[in-house]
Structure 1
């Protein structure tokens, strides 16, 4: 049995088992959203407005005094780690009882465009066309580079 998956599914099971349904889950979501806005306001008020928009807040109801801030790079992470006590103090002033603020660095996944079949290659200028043809003529006929340049010249259009 996948323990992390079961642990993740527990709040859903609890909601379905109770008479109130999804009301407790919705309340937790609202509380998390309010905490996220409070953290962003705290970071903004400490003079780091640019950082406040790039962080995610992880908060678990079973550990209400712990807060985890997830950031996209180590630079922001080190800056937040330095001001973590000030963030906790700022949140405590607004009735959030936070004793510990942790910072995690989790880089964003880069979206790689893999479907390039439909795109036409960029056209060569006349000067680029002449330069590639000149290089092609200088290489020996057995050269793999010459064969690659030959394919390149066949597949590229030149600007007129």
Structure 2
């Protein structure tokens, strides 16, 4: 028997044991959904819309002051871990009392667009183009980095 799974199921089972159990279950689901929207609003307000799209919010009613953010990569996880105190503080402005924000990396959950390769690559600004060209000129001819930058410059468009 999977003990952690049973432990997670107990609060939900308690809801269903009572006559008005489904009402409690629905209230918990609504509360979780409201918290998830609040977290996404906080990330949008701080300019991290792309992170909010790749994020799952886990919240347990038996630990109401703890929030777990599940992300698909360690890079996003590290950034969110750095932002955790400000996320908790901003959630306080939305009347959520969160004392601990934890981050879990779970690569397989990704809600990010799987067809990302089909999207157009962003264009370089003129400043970015000249910076890459300057670095390209400084590198030795045999450098693998120089070859990579050459490929990058060939495949990117420049904004005009």
The question of a shared fold, defined as TM-score above 0.5 by the shorter chain, is answered with: yes
What is the Cα deviation at residue 15 of structure 1?
2.5
Residues 70-149 of structure 1 aligned to structure 2 (within 5 Å) = 70-108=70-108
CA contact (8 A) 2:72 2:109 kept: no
Question: 2:68 matched to which residue of 1?
Answer: 68
- Structure 2 unaligned runs (5+)? 111-160
Question: 1:27 matched to which residue of 2?
Answer: 27
Tell me how far apart the structure 2 counterparts of residues 67 and 88 of structure 1 sit (CA, whole Å).
Answer: 9
Structure 1 moving runs of 4+ over 3 Å? none
What is the Cα deviation at residue 17 of structure 1?
1.7
Matched residue of 2:58: which SS?
strand
What is the Cα deviation at residue 109 of structure 1?
6.3
The structure having more radius of gyration, on CA atoms, is 1
Higher helix share: 2
Matched residue of 1:22: which SS?
helix
What is the Cα deviation at residue 10 of structure 1?
1.6
CA contact (8 A) 2:15 2:21 kept: yes
CA contact (8 A) 1:73 1:107 kept: yes
TM-score (normalizing by structure 2) = 0.64
CA contact (8 A) 2:16 2:25 kept: no
- Structure 1 unaligned runs (5+)? 111-160
Question: 1:121 matched to which residue of 2?
Answer: none
TM-score (normalizing by structure 1) = 0.64
